[in-house]
Amino acid sequence: MATELMRVDHLDKYYGDWQALHNINFSIHEGEVIALVGPSGSGKSTLIRTLNGLEPYQKGTITFEGKKVTPDKVSWQKLRQEIGMVFQSYDLFPNLTVMGNILLGPTKVQKRDEGEVKAEAQKLLERFELADQADAYPRQLSGGQKQRIAIIRALVMHPKLMLFDEVTASLDPEMVRGVLNIMQELAKKDHMTMIIVTHELTFAAKVADQVLFLEDGRLRETTSAKQFFTNPQTDRAKEFLASMDY
Ligand SMILES: Nc1ncnc2c1ncn2[C@@H]1O[C@H](COP(=O)(O)OP(=O)(O)OP(=O)(O)O)[C@@H](O)[C@H]1O
Ligand SMILES: [Mg+2]
């Protein structure tokens, strides 16, 4: 049995008086891939941002590698080095080259040796067919290329957990495949532990071990991907899959 990497117990989150997440419970083990799915506004981004300390929560606990997370700024800053996150918007620094963007975290935050990080970055760029882009600026790249760089920028920090929030949602259709392929490779070859928010259900069915189905801020189903996509237990999940033409 793989080691439990993160667990969430009885987590509630409010925006002001309004409760966005209700009693969220789940855990993810090393090497596992979770697909977090659900209708728009169900709280997927809120949950994934909470798991990275970008959103405060009011009740419940998050445990990482067996240690309860102290929900303060300093603890999260430290922990965030272990948890990579890629968003829908690429958030690359426009004034830095691709290599400059990739080197920033490892050299400035982790204080690692620049030469060593550069060699590792170069390997990742080659692996994801971006070797020629090291000296380019973000404005010179396509959306798909920028998103692949954003993934590399997270990977080079050696995260134990990767969080992805709709990373293909703003891409042109022909760019989507290349980005999904990287995530699939990270799952199947690297056995990276990942939580993926996605509307690409065919992809989710292929890479995910576990599905969390969120609706109205509540986890309506927490089940194996196989079960969820072939025989969902709740009417809400059935309706959701039908609405997605799955
Ligand atoms: N900063 C905020 N302040 C107040 N309410 C918010 C905030 N961010 C999100 N919400 C609300 O919380 C709910 C969940 O939003 P969230 O963005 O997490 O949904 P989502 O599942 O990611 O949706 P989508 O699929 O459209 O990205 C929504 O009702 C949203 O309006
Ligand atoms: Mg969202």
* Cα 119 to ligand 2 centre (Å): 34
* 27 CA to centre of ligand 1 in angstroms: 22
* Residue located via tokens 């692996």: 127
* pLDDT category of residue 89 using cuts at 50, 70 and 90: confident
Question: What pLDDT shows up at residue 66?
Answer: 96
8 Å CB contact between 35 and 209: no
Instruction: For ligand 1, say whether the CB of 53 is within 6 Å of any of its atoms.
Output: no
Is pLDDT of 219 > 90?
A: yes
Q: Which distant-in-sequence residues (6+ apart) come within 8 Å of 9 by Cβ? A: 25, 60, 61, 62, 63
Give percent of the chain above pLDDT 90. Answer: 95
pLDDT band at 226 (very low <50, low <70, confident <90, very high): very high
Tell me the mean pLDDT in the region 188-197.
97
What is the domain partition of the chain in residue ranges?
Answer: 1-82+161-246, 92-158
Q: What's the mean pLDDT in 132-145?
A: 95
DSSP tally for the chain: helices H, then strands E = 9, 10
Give the Å distance between the CA of 49 and the centre of ligand 1: 11
pLDDT of 90 > 90? The answer is no
* Strand bridging mode 18-29 / 193-197: unpaired
Q: In this predicted structure, what is the pLDDT of residue 2?
A: 86
Q: Which of 12-26, 33-47, 68-82 has the lowest mean pLDDT?
A: 68-82
The CATH class of the 1-82+161-246 domain is: alpha beta
Question: CA-to-CA distance for 137 and 117, rounded, in angstroms?
Answer: 19
Angle of the 173-188 helix axis to the 143-155 helix axis, nearest 10: 20
Using the predicted structure, report yes or no on whether residue 118 has a pLDDT greater than 90: yes
The full 3-state SS of 59-84, as one line of letters, equals EEEEEECCEECCCCHHHHHHHCCCEE
Whether the per-residue pLDDT at 1 is higher than 80: the answer is: no
Q: How confident is the model at residue 32 (pLDDT cuts 50, 70, 90)?
A: very high
Residue 69 near residue 62 (C-beta atoms within 8 A)? yes
Vertex 238: Cα angle to 234 and 242 (nearest 5):
170
In angstroms, the Cα distances linking 115 to 36, 111, 121, 122, 192 are 37, 12, 10, 11, 25
